[in-house]
Amino acid sequence: MEYPVHGFFLNLLIILLSARMFAELAALARVPPVVGELMAGVVLGPTVLGWIEPSQTIRMLAEIGIILLLFEAGLETDIRQLARAGFKSSIVAVSGFALPFAFGFLVSYEVFERPLLESLFIGGTLTATSIGITIRVLTDLHQRHSHEAQLVLGAAVIDDILGVVLLAILYEFSIGGGISYMNAGRVLLFIAVFFLLAPIFAKLISLEIRRFDEFSQTPGLIPTTVVSLVLFFAWLSHEIGAPELLGGFAAGLALSRRFFLPFGLAVHAGTEFAERIDNQMRPIIYLFVPIFFVMVGLSLNLRTIDWTSPFIWVFSLSLIGTAIAGKLFSALFISERWVTRFAVGLAMIPRGEVGLIFAELGRTSNILSNEIYAALIIVIAFTTIFAPLLLKGYYHVLGSRLAAEPVRRQ
């Protein structure tokens, strides 16, 4: 049946305006805007009003939103921040990635006896920290440049990269219908080559974009060429067997103003040009990314879930416990004061966008049931909403000790 164009226009209008309205309400309530966009989808979808049923066109727009979301994450990645943060951030990142994954997998597979592939997706959903939410909270607290903030931000960047790689492996498992270590090894090899070569290639292309932009007679060259580059890398990423969003992340990483070519070839596109890319891409990102989060809410039908069943509550609370514990324990392995360790652990808790991407991939691959998917959404929403509140309370009570005491050496 031919899809009515006027109906699509009306649905898209409702999605965009609802996403903006709910995001503003969330911001007024001191809650991350992503939660508001998610709630907009829940209200518009079958859970509450049932006004909008996701069409294939809306799903494609949401897919572009995911790719641009990872492009933005790559664009904000500070390679030099990783070098400055150094060994301690690496410890926090690796342990903050491995512990929640292991805890989530074991709770799901051993305790609740869920299938292996489903348990891997559940563990993967608990891994990556939402760096955007963490940065926002630390900035609001005027702690953006504190010692613990530098540890957290360096760790969150590495955490995101590890999460993207894990997502690519789980994507391979999902399309293959099972676990193949040979295919996973092949994907890892392709990803390694892709991450080595793609940013270099994209950086060189950005230099050409800059050169053409200097004498272009028509406006819009930068967003047109950059979006084309992102879409090309998304296609290339799919061709090597990884999810398309990996290509978006690589393109954003290359176009970051802090990216340098390896082997001493410091070919710069210039800070001013990088800022122009950033400024001209923001409106496009802000247009498409909310569609993805609304889409997640539209895909969630909470009416079909038996909320009187003890399973959904016990399972959700168990995952919330493992999600929090995994991040808190990740800071125990660094040689810092306990107040600093606890602050770092709290700042690593929010899952936000990255967790939603994992959960959505598991749902669309028919690996996660509606009940398990809803439980994961509860976990993500809880950590996204309450972790910033806990962090603010922690700084209110112990912020003076964090600022006053010298760093203890071990």
| Per-residue pLDDT reduced to its tens digit, 55-94 | 788 888 888 887 887 787 777 666 665 566 567 888 888 8
pLDDT confidence of residue 180: 64
What end-to-end distance do the CA atoms of the chain give, in Å?
A: 69
Across 46-50, 122-126, 154-158, least confident range = 154-158
- Start-end of H helices in 77-180: 79-106, 116-125, 131-140, 147-176
Residue-wise pLDDT tens digits, 101-138: 999 999 999 998 898 888 988 998 888 777 666 766 77
What pLDDT sits at residue 17?
A: 93
pLDDT of 406 > 60? The answer is no
What is the C-alpha to C-alpha distance for residues 223 and 52, in angstroms, rounded to an integer? 30
CA-CA distance, 148 to 341, in Å (whole number)?
Answer: 8
Average pLDDT over residues 322-344: 86
Distance CA 397, CA 262 (A): 44
The confidence score (pLDDT) of residue 140 equals 67
What digits encode the pLDDT tens for the residues 214-267? 777 788 888 888 888 888 888 887 777 666 767 777 777 777 655 444 433 334
**pLDDT surpasses 60 at 278:** yes
268 confidence band (pLDDT: 50, 70, 90): very low
Of the candidates 184, 185, 136, 188, which has an alpha carbon nearest to the alpha carbon of residue 162? Answer: 188
- 29: CB partners within 8 A, 6+ apart: none
Per-residue b or e along 196-223, where b marks 16 or more CB atoms closer than 10 Å to that residue's CB: eebbbbbbebbeebbeeeeeeeeeebbe
Provide the whole-model pTM: 0.69
Residue 129: C-alpha distances to residues 237, 326, 361 (Å): 23, 11, 17
Question: How many Å separate Cα 44 from the centre of its chain?
Answer: 23
With 80 as the cut, is the pLDDT of residue 312 above it? yes
Mean pLDDT of 278-304: 82
